[in-house]
């Protein structure tokens, strides 16, 4: 689909892009301010889908941070799982044919997403207990406990999730650490920069 077939809202037309928060809204403003020039270019639906992914990441992060003290931590855990599953969508956009057409080394621009994608694939997309991939029984049980919050802790005053990942090459369990308050801003900044690079390449190819 072509860009001139869509209307994209700039929520803060008077603000400089770097001042717009959250970053997902900044990305919409960026596209709005370039959409006339992009006009007949194909790829609108590819890019708009990515912006919706960023919007969803901000949504889950904001929900995560606004959960009141004293409320069951299970609610935060649900938001964290939803966040990581959306991150999987962003990963596949990053390595998609569309993105690599304009940014061949796209994955190198998204190191934080790449860092966490195994968590999504191995822990939040499904339980090893339900869909084993030749992992040992002990690992399957340990990974299942992660869903029950058994490996949640505080890190620098922030909620941190500790995920096991079975390394088939070494036959050992590796541990990954997801701290939304620290990792989310990095993910969003890297994602915005990738979107900005794609738009620049689209403009260069007019």
DSSP calls for the chain:
-BGGG-----S-TTS-GGG-SSHHHHHHHHHHTTHHHHTT-B-HHHHHHHHHHHHHHHHHHHHHHHSPTTS-HHHHHHHHHHHHHHHHHHHHHHTSHHHHHH-TTGGGG-HHHHHHHHHIIIIIS--TTTS-SS--HHHHHHHHHHTTTTTEEEETTEEEEEEEEEETTTTEEEEEEE-HHHHHHHHHHHHHHHHHHHHHHHHHT-
**Could you tell me the residue ranges of all domains in the chain?**
3-204
Q: How far apart are the first and last CA of the chain?
A: 15
Nearest to 36 by CA among 25, 44, 26, 45: 44
Cis omega (within 30 of 0) on the bond before 71? Answer: no
Q: Are 195 and 51 in contact (CB under 8 A)?
A: yes
- How do residues 111-170 score in pLDDT, each as one tens digit? 999 998 877 876 666 666 676 667 776 666 666 666 555 567 788 888 888 887 777 778
> Which tops the pLDDT comparison, 139 or 57?
57
Q: Which residues pair with 53 in a beta bridge?
A: none
Q: How far apart are CA 9 and CA 25, in angstroms?
A: 9
Q: What is the pTM of this model?
A: 0.86
Q: How far apart are CA 78 and CA 181, in angstroms?
A: 15
pLDDT of residue 60: 94
pLDDT of residue 26: 97
- How do residues 79-116 score in pLDDT, each as one tens digit? 888 999 999 999 999 999 999 999 999 999 999 999 98
Nearest to 119 by CA among 127, 108, 110: 127
pLDDT of residue 24: 97
């Amino acid at each position: 689909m072509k860009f001139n077939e869509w209307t994209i809202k700039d929520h803060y037309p008077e603000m400089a892009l770097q001042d717009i928060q959250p970053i997902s809204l900044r990305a919409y403003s960026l596209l709005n301010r370039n959409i006339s020039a992009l006009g007949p270019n194909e790829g609108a639906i590819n890019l708009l889908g990515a912006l919706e992914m960023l919007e969803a990441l901000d949504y889950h992060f904001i929900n995560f941070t606004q959960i009141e003290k004293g409320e069951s931590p299970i609610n935060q855990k649900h938001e964290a799982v939803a966040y990581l599953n959306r991150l999987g969508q962003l990963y596949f956009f990053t390595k998609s044919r569309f993105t690599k057409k304009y940014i061949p080394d796209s994955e190198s621009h998204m190191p934080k997403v790449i860092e966490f994608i195994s968590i999504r694939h191995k822990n939040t997309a499904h339980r090893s207990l339900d869909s084993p991939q030749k992992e040992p029984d002990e690992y399957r049980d340990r990974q299942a406990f992660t869903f029950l919050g058994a490996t949640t802790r505080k890190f620098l005053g922030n909620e941190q999730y500790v995920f096991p990942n079975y390394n088939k090459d070494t036959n050992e369990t590796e541990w990954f650490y997801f701290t939304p308050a620290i990792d989310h801003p990095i993910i969003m900044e890297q994602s915005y920069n990738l979107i900005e690079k794609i738009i620049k390449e689209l403009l260069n190819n007019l």
